[in-house]
């Protein structure tokens, strides 16, 4: 087919997210469980001491925030 270049690949990226209130193990499990289901997430690491999650993959900050929207945490994308 003329003009068809095949599927487009998104570049992997690193997102750092602050999740206020994610200070215990059960909160970390809840948050990381939700984020594992976000399309494009390949690797994630959570730190309860700093309330941050580092994600690697092709996801967007908007998708990450949407995945946590109904939880009782304030979510801020620090780097995108």
pLDDT in tens, 2-27: 554 444 456 889 999 999 999 999 99
> Global pTM?
0.83
Which is more confident, 33 or 12? 33
Please give the pLDDT value at position 41: 97
Domain 13-79 has CATH 3.30.70.100: yes
Q: Above 70 in pLDDT, residue 68?
A: yes
Rounded Cα gap, residues 11 and 66, in angstroms: 21
**What residue ranges do the domains of the chain occupy?**
13-79
The structure tokens listed for 75 are 């979510």
Please give the pLDDT value at position 9: 54
């Amino acid at each position: 087919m003329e003009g068809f270049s095949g599927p487009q690949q998104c570049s992997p990226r690193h997102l750092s997210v602050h999740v206020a209130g994610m200070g215990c193990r059960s909160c970390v499990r809840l948050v990381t469980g939700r984020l594992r289901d976000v399309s494009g997430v390949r690797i994630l690491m959570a730190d309860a001491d700093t309330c941050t999650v580092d994600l690697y993959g092709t996801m967007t900050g908007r998708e990450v925030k949407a995945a946590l929207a109904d939880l009782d945490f304030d979510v801020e994308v620090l780097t995108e």
